[in-house]
Amino acid sequence: MKTNPSPDWTKLQHLYPVNREMIWLNNCGTTPANTDTLHAVNEYLQGYAARGGNTEVRRYPTVKKVIRTILAELLGVEAEELSLIHHTNEGIGFISLGLKLKSGDRILLLENEYPSNIYPWEHWKEKGVSISFVPMAETPDGFLENLKSSITPDVKVVSLSAVHWCTGMPFPLEEIGSFLAGKGIEFVLDGAQGVGLLPVRPREMGISYMAFPAWKWLLGPLGLGVLYIAKEKLEGLNFPFKGTGSVVNDEVYLPYREELKGTDRYEISTVNFIDWVYFQSTLEMLHKVGFHNSMERIYELADYLSDKLRDAGWKLASDHFPDFKTGIVVAEKEGLSMENVVSDLKKNGVMCALRLGRVRFSPHIYLAKEQLDRVVDLVSR
């Protein structure tokens, strides 16, 4: 992955108006906008107001090319293997409905998984395909062993997350992908908590299908997501959603067309283009910062917060997997109600989340260590 010079983090912090209002520590949930993005969206809207669809500001083909090119570099895939959709749930649904399973097959999912990687698979149960769950573990190696022991000859698909959304624990994706490939099992990834935080590289990890949202570690808009399908898998999927935008030369409406596009056939019809403009802006910023630098900065902030909380007597989920990097800090303290802690922090302008009875903090690059000191001071009181 390309390494950029170390950025000016203080300058970047000033781009985020949220820093003047609160301390946003729920970046693996949703992320706020920055002033450069506001300018980009406003510039497009001014152009659209003046010339409608004829505006030369942020043209559709250019915006799409920039987004897919940056993402392709980040993920180590081809741009044509990516499609801009709405969210993870939609992408997993496309994959689930496209796979050709039969009665007696089995799908393996993660215990306590986020619903967007559960509900899209449930339709298979009425077709005679069973769904089972891999028990969670406190360490990545423990989970890998749980996964291996859950595999039986009838398992045809395994769909997991890159990171557990409640504990911040990353899964050993390369080892999992290698193991599943040896068994001839399809590997589907919910990349929501991972892409932009971890070096998720589908080709290197044996991942054939993946979906993730724009609005977490990639700092993009709500309601925009990305679908990845390995090019050699695309034509083997059922495609029940053919729409105006699914076919080659889609701008010519008649005669009707049979030839489908690549993975972007899943864009189906008119897109929410303002979100694309928003996403282009945040991806260009992260590309300029350097995705490696961004990841390392998130780890640095997460480690700093973890050390401070640990000194204040808090127990951290990451203590069970100290050799694995994570940007998600999940903590608890005996004698305190975590629900009350989250509520009190919110009243004091700190946004975090309650997950499985613990507090989840997720910093991003626009935050400063002084803000994390403030958080620790609040929870210590």
Cβ neighbour number for residue 198 with a 10 Å cutoff:
22
pTM over 0.85: yes
Tell me the residue type at 35.
Answer: T
Using one digit for the tens of pLDDT, what is the confidence trace for 101-115?
A: 999 999 999 999 999
Q: Which of left, alpha, beta for 285 (phi over 0: left; psi -120 to 50: alpha)? A: alpha
CATH 3.90.1150.10 residue ranges for the chain:
9-34+290-379
Contact 266, 83 (CB under 8 A): yes
> What does the alpha-carbon distance between residue 42 and residue 180 come to, in Å, rounded to a whole number?
46
Apex 303 CA angle, 326 and 315, nearest 5? 85
Fold (CATH) for 9-34+290-379: Aspartate Aminotransferase, domain 1 (3.90.1150)
pLDDT tens digits along 71-90? 999 999 999 999 999 999 99
At 299-340, the pLDDT tens digits run 999 999 999 999 999 999 999 999 999 999 999 999 999 999
What residues pair up with 227 in beta bridges, in sequence order? 83, 211
Q: What is the CATH number of domain 58-287?
A: 3.40.640.10
CA angle centred on 226, ends 223 and 227, rounded to 5°: 130
Cα distances from 133 to residues 142, 145, 151, 332, in angstroms, run 15, 14, 11, 26
pLDDT more than 90, % of the chain: 97
- By residue count, the chain amounts to 381
pLDDT over 70 at 3, yes or no = no
What number of other Cβ atoms are within 10 A of residue 43's Cβ? 15
Contact by Cβ (8 Å): 362, 196? no
What residues pair up with 100 in beta bridges, in sequence order? none
The helix (H) or strand (E) run that includes residue 108 is strand 106-110
pLDDT band for position 58 (cuts 50, 70, 90): very high
Exposed/middle/buried for 148, CB within 10 Å: 0-12, 13-18, 19+? middle
* C-alpha span between 94 and 237 (Å, rounded): 9
For position 56, what pLDDT does the model report? 92
Judged against a pLDDT cut of 60, whether residue 163 lies above it is answered with yes
Residues of the chain with CATH 3.40.640.10: 58-287
How many CB atoms lie under 10 A from the CB of residue 184?
Answer: 8
Helix (H) or strand (E) holding 188: strand 186-190
**What tokens does 318 get?**
């990451």
Contacts of 198 (CB under 8 A, 6+ apart): 162, 163, 170, 295, 325
Classify strands 225-229 and 209-213 as parallel, antiparallel or unpaired. Answer: antiparallel
Structural element, H or E, at residue 175: helix 173-183
Distance (Å, rounded) from C-alpha 72 to C-alpha 226?
11
Q: Is the pLDDT of residue 2 over 70?
A: no
d(CA 332, CA 166): 12
Q: Left, alpha or beta for 379 (phi > 0: left; psi -120 to 50: alpha)?
A: alpha
Euclidean distance between CA atoms 278 and 265, whole angstroms: 22
Those residues whose C-beta lies under 8 Å from the C-beta of residue 59, and which sit 6 or more positions away, are: none
Closest CA to 9 of 281, 278, 289, 218: 289
What's the pLDDT tens digit per position in 221-231? Answer: 999 999 999 99
pLDDT for 5 equals: 78
Rounded to an integer, the average pLDDT of 229-239 is: 97
Residue 336, amino acid: L
